[in-house]
Amino acid sequence: MSDWTFERPPELPLPQPSEESAPFWDALKERRLMLQKCAVCGAISHPPRAKCGSCGAMEFVWQASEGVGEVHSYVITHQAVHPALTGYTPFATVEVALAEGVRMTSNLIDTPPEQVAIGQPVQVEFMDVGEGVVLPMFRRQQGK
């Protein structure tokens, strides 16, 4: 099991940053996970927004995240419902609940699909997928 490594389907779409999300993707290139924080009320948002969902402010700062959380939910794709998935099923996609209270879609790089479980403590791991793009992936927290 410890040898198992997630093989990311290489033809999956790459993120196309928007004005709001560009700082998030740019920080990942430097292997930092940054979350959008409202400059007025401090609420953390993910994905990044144009306007704070809590207070309506439109000014934000970026806050470094430890990238620690747990698996909130997951799916296992068995049927290649997109050409990019052909030959790569089954594979798991997880929704991670970060300690900051937001959820992030990702993959577990060290856990085979049949062992993914809700509640699993996880930690961020950066994956260079080429074309200058780094994605936030997750692995099990050590000893958990």
Q: Where on the chain is the footprint of another protein (CB under 8 A)? A: 9, 12-18, 21, 25, 46-47, 72-79, 81-85, 90-91, 93, 95, 104-107, 118, 129, 135
Which residues make up the interface to Zn ion (CB under 5 A)? 38, 40-41, 43, 52, 54-55, 57
Residue 142's binding partner out of another protein, Zn ion, none, with CB under 5 to 8 Å set by partner kind: none
The secondary structure element, H or E, covering residue 61 is: strand 60-64
Tokens coding 14: 């790459």
Residue 83's binding partner out of Zn ion, another protein, none, with CB under 5 to 8 Å set by partner kind: another protein
CA distances from 15 to 22, 40, 63, 118, 136 (A): 10, 28, 21, 26, 11
Q: Closest separation between CB of residue 6 and another protein, Å?
A: 10
Q: Which residues of 70-106 are buried (b: 16+ CB within 10 A; e: fewer)?
A: bbeebeebeeeeeeebeeeeebbebebbbebebbbeb
Residue 12's binding partner out of another protein, Zn ion, none, with CB under 5 to 8 Å set by partner kind: another protein
Residue 64's binding partner out of Zn ion, another protein, none, with CB under 5 to 8 Å set by partner kind: none
